Amino acid sequence: MHAVAVRDGRAVERAGDPGLVTFMRSSAKPFQALPLARARDDLDERDLAIASASHRADPDQLAAVRALLVKADVTEDDLECGAEDGSRLRHNCSGKHAGMLALCRARGWPLRGYRLAEHPVQEGCRAEVAAAAEVAATDMPSAVDGCGVVTFALPLERMAHAFGRLEERDAGPRVAGAMRAHPELIRGGEAADTLLMRGFAGWTAKGGAEGLLCAAGPDGVGVALKVEDGSSRGVRPALGAFLARLGLDAGALGHAGLGRLPLLNSRGDECGEIVAEL
């Protein structure tokens, strides 16, 4: 596991290699939602939360995506995220895609191809991530993410720095506040980002694919954590162990579901555990 915490541009805690470069994947969604929040004052907290989400297609989550599509004056057929179980709406990134369509409507940009690198939506997302991380946009390697939009690679230290600056960005408080108000929309269930926001006031968190999680605390600290083998099952215990280093109460972390993770067999018997050694 690799992790770093950054405050005021300086690494204050680390584990493993804070310079590890990896793709930001869905952890970039709060930044990708910033242009949307600036462009439309008709969106409520649920709209901005689902635009920042990697949902599980729970009924409330799907209802939030549908509501955002209505405000964008588009339909499920306009989503370019591909399908899950035969439905584009059920794709875990459909909220982000609905938000990008809503941005297109507000700016008068073409709907078709909004996912492509040369579209103004994706150019804007690149600029947002680069500005928050304080790197040159041309220095960020890019690739096509699982849902079809552009994803950017950064060292973990720059990701942590960016998250620590999220609420300093224009419309950042609006997006972060929406995420904290509706952590159940951001992922839901026992996901580490949802648990952290539910359990600790002022924390904003967003997970990404391949065992990545980024977060920001109420004191301006930014955190980026990557499980080296890409497995998501190590994120919760690793996050709990790393946050304890930052002074969060270890007992409270366990109560929130972060920390030791029991392993159950098919009978429901506890037969092992996942713990983080930092």
Cβ atoms 126, 115 nearer than 8 A: no
What integer pLDDT is reported at residue 262 of this predicted model? 85
Beta bridge partners of 23: 153
Least confident of 59-73, 109-123, 224-238: 224-238
CATH label of the domain that carries residue 65: 3.40.710
Least confident of 5-19, 160-174, 258-272: 258-272
Its domain, for residue 144, covers: 2-274
Global pTM? 0.96
What integer pLDDT is reported at residue 251 of this predicted model? 86
* pLDDT single digits (tens) 82-138: 999 999 999 999 999 999 999 999 999 999 999 999 999 999 999 999 999 999 999
222-226 and 212-216 as β-strands: parallel, antiparallel, unpaired? Answer: antiparallel
User: What is the SS3 string spanning 27-69?
Assistant: HHHHHHCHHHHHHCCCCCHHHHHHHCCCCCCCHHHHHHHHHHH
What integer pLDDT is reported at residue 239 of this predicted model? 96
What integer pLDDT is reported at residue 52 of this predicted model? 98
* Number of domain units in the chain: 1
Residue 50 has pLDDT above 80, yes or no: yes
Question: Of all helices (H) and strands (E), which one includes residue 125?
Answer: helix 120-133
